[in-house]
Every structure is written in structure tokens, then in C-alpha cells.
């Protein structure tokens, strides 16, 4: 698979070096080079990004601060000239850490680690698709158990970094499972489930109330993010305004 990536660094020379290294690596697809967090967020809202090569020390918002807002949205390889940030980088679940100046071999080692992660994630995604059987259900691992979740009973799924919560219609306690929302997103039937936010996938059949771009399930209010608003509005027009 091709890995869509961004470079985020306020140093032009660092951007040039990383762009050169990415262009030499056949499974990496550079979507943009960004000189700060604000520019990176703009690109992430416009297209699907899998991987960030993210500098830590930048003006206004540091790479560490930015990474803490991303959840499972992308994976991160930190790039910095300061070794003391390595531990902090791994605390936010970075795939790897590159200490400037680094050569192409060091870069490739980190990139290969990212490729291994995405290959495993893609395999898990395919296995998940196969687990959604003819009974319209899927099996998820939770607390050392395997639990059958019926899609008809599923209200919405909430992403929490490396975990997801399955919120059910007949159970006030969600099921917590170790997986990514991104992997689950392509596995659920697209005519019944839609991602409406980087942290939420909803069961379209269970929607009863929408208020000011918020989907309401009892006490839960789920926002519809700008990135998904057009697709959701099309759904509303076709289903609710006939």
C-alpha cells in the first residue's frame, strides 16, 4: 500500500532533505510539505493523511502539543535536533524518532517501521471485514474475551487513540476493544455506517435526532466535522427529506 504523508518542519533545509528522502522511498507518497501546524491541519482536513514526519520544536505550537490532539487520525515519526525529546515522543505513541542530522539509511529504518505498522493494520482490517458474517455481526476482543456485536444493535463507535468503544442500544456500558477507528471505518457496511468525525462512526439506521450539526443518541451528542459535512448532508437529503 502507498502511505500518504506530510512533512511538518519550520526549517526549509529540513523540508528539502525529507522531501528528497521520501521521493526515494517507493511506498511513501508526499502530499505536502508544511512549515507549521496550521498548514498541516489544512492539508489533513482536505485529504487522507496516514503519516506525519513531524518536527518537535516549532513556533506557536510544538510538534508534541500537536501530536496530542490527533488521536488515531495519523501515525507520527518525530524529527528533532534534541535527543531529550525522545522519551516524550514515545509517550504519545510515535512510531519512531529521528535525531537530526540523520542520513537516508536512518530515515529508511524509521520508514520501514511505519510500513510494517500499516501492513499489519491493513491485514487486521481485512480480517475484520471477514469477521462481519452473514448474520450482520462482528466479533471483537475485549478484556480477554471475544464478544459478538450485532450491527443492528450498534449505535455508534468512538475512537480513543489505540482503542475504540462500541456503544450499543441495549447496553449502557460500551465495549472497549484494542483496534483503530481507521481500520474499522472501511470494514463496516458503507450503506449503513458513516464516519462523521475523526473520532466517531455512526449507524445511519439509528439516527433519530439531528440538531445544529450534532447527532443525538440519548445523552450522547456527536459532532459532524466539516470534513464529513457534505457527505452527511447528502445522506440527510436522501433519507430524511424525501
Reported as a pLDDT band with limits 50, 70 and 90, residue 84 is low
Q: How many residues does the chain have?
A: 242
Cis ω for the linkage preceding 101 (within 30 of 0): yes
The answer to whether 125 touches 186, Cβ cutoff 8 Å, is yes
Mean pLDDT across 118-132: 70
Residue 227, pLDDT > 60, answer yes
Pick the range with the lowest mean pLDDT from 24-33, 93-102, 150-159. Answer: 93-102
Residue 149, pLDDT > 60, answer yes
Reported as a pLDDT band with limits 50, 70 and 90, residue 236 is confident
pTM for the structure as a whole: 0.62
Distance CA 117, CA 95 (A): 8
Residue 96, pLDDT > 60, answer yes
What is the reported pLDDT for 239? 66
Distance CA 223, CA 214 (A): 5
What is the reported pLDDT for 160? 83
What is the reported pLDDT for 134? 46
Domains plus CATH for the chain? 3-128 (3.40.50.2300), 133-239 (2.40.50.1020)
| Average pLDDT over the chain, rounded to an integer | 85
The answer to whether 28 touches 5, Cβ cutoff 8 Å, is yes
Give alpha helix (H) positions in the chain.
Answer: 12-23, 37-46, 63-67, 86-91, 104-131, 181-185, 226-239
Reported as a pLDDT band with limits 50, 70 and 90, residue 128 is low
Amino acid at each position: 500500500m502507498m502511505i500518504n504523508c506530510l512533512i511538518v518542519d519550520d526549517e526549509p533545509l529540513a523540508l528539502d532533505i525529507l522531501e528528497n528522502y521520501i521521493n526515494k522511498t517507493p511506498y511513501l507518497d508526499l502530499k505536502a510539505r508544511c512549515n507549521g501546524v496550521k498548514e498541516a491541519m489544512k492539508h489533513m482536513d482536505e485529504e487522507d493523511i496516514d503519516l506525519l514526519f513531524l518536527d518537535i520544536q516549532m513556533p506557536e505550537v510544538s510538534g508534541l502539543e500537536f501530536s496530542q490532539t490527533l488521536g488515531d487520525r495519523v501515525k507520527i515519526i518525530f524529527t528533532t535536533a534534541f535527543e531529550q525529546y525522545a522519551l516524550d515522543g514515545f509517550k504519545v505513541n510515535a512510531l519512531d524518532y529521528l535525531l537530526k542530522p540523520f542520513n537516508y539509511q536512518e530515515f529508511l529504518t524509521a520508514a520501514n517501521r511505519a510500513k510494517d505498522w500499516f501492513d499489519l493494520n491493513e491485514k487486521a482490517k481485512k480480517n475484520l471485514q471477514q469477521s462481519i458474517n452473514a448474520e450482520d455481526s462482528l466479533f471483537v476482543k475485549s478484556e480477554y474475551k471475544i464478544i459478538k456485536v450485532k450491527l443492528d444493535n450498534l449505535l455508534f463507535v468512538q475512537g480513543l487513540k489505540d482503542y475504540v468503544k462500541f456503544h450499543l442500544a441495549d447496553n449502557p456500558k460500551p465495549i472497549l476493544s484494542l483496534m483503530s477507528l481507521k481500520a474499522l471505518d472501511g470494514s463496516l457496511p458503507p450503506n449503513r455506517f458513516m464516519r462523521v468525525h475523526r473520532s466517531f462512526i455512526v449507524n445511519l439506521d439509528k439516527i433519530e435526532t439531528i440538531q445544529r450539526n450534532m447527532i443525538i443518541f440519548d445523552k450522547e451528542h456527536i459532532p459532524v466535522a466539516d470534513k464529513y459535512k457534505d457527505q452527511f448532508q447528502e445522506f440527510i437529503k436522501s433519507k430524511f427529506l424525501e
